[in-house]
Amino acid sequence: MSEDQPGPPWVQSIQGLAAALPGLFTDRLELLALELQRASRVLLRIVALMLAATILGATAWLALSGGIALALVAWGLSWPMGVLAVLLLNLTLGWAAVLRIRRLLIQVGLPATRRHLVFGAAAAGRVSGGLHAQPLSRTAGGAR
């Protein structure tokens, strides 16, 4: 065989595979790095929203306590109704923050990286299905 003639087809296939492997590996690492960066930003948002929910919950508790005290002392309608409005507003905002946290938690599981690291269609279905198989809310029977 001379230097100008290519080798057997299987040798060329192996050489092509060996040349492509570093690119496949670096693509996976780049995807992981990008998803970890996104996940860190999402976690920061979750922490900020949890802090907001905690402050709003504490404010709601203080409003409820103040409302009960005012109702007992004054028995007037205007002050307790005002305090009740603040209580309902804080509870509504706190619930909105909790709902937003629950939506953001899905992104922390690195779904694209997990899909690309799993071999085979059946395994990919298990990973993507397994991430969302457990509901976040309680079922009618009370079990999670």
The model's pLDDT over 112-135, given as tens digits with 9 standing for 90+, comes to 777 888 776 555 555 555 544 444
- Rounded CA-CA distance 50/39 in Å is 16
Q: What is the pTM of this model?
A: 0.40
The model's pLDDT over 58-108, given as tens digits with 9 standing for 90+, comes to 888 788 767 766 765 665 656 666 667 667 877 888 899 999 999 888 878
Residue type, 20: A
- Rounded CA-CA distance 81/71 in Å is 9
Name the residue with tokens 């059946």.
122
Among 125, 111, 128, smallest CA distance to 35 is for 111
63 burial class (0-12, 13-18, 19+ CB within 10 angstroms)?
buried
- Rounded CA-CA distance 63/81 in Å is 11
Q: Where are the domains positioned within the chain?
A: 46-111
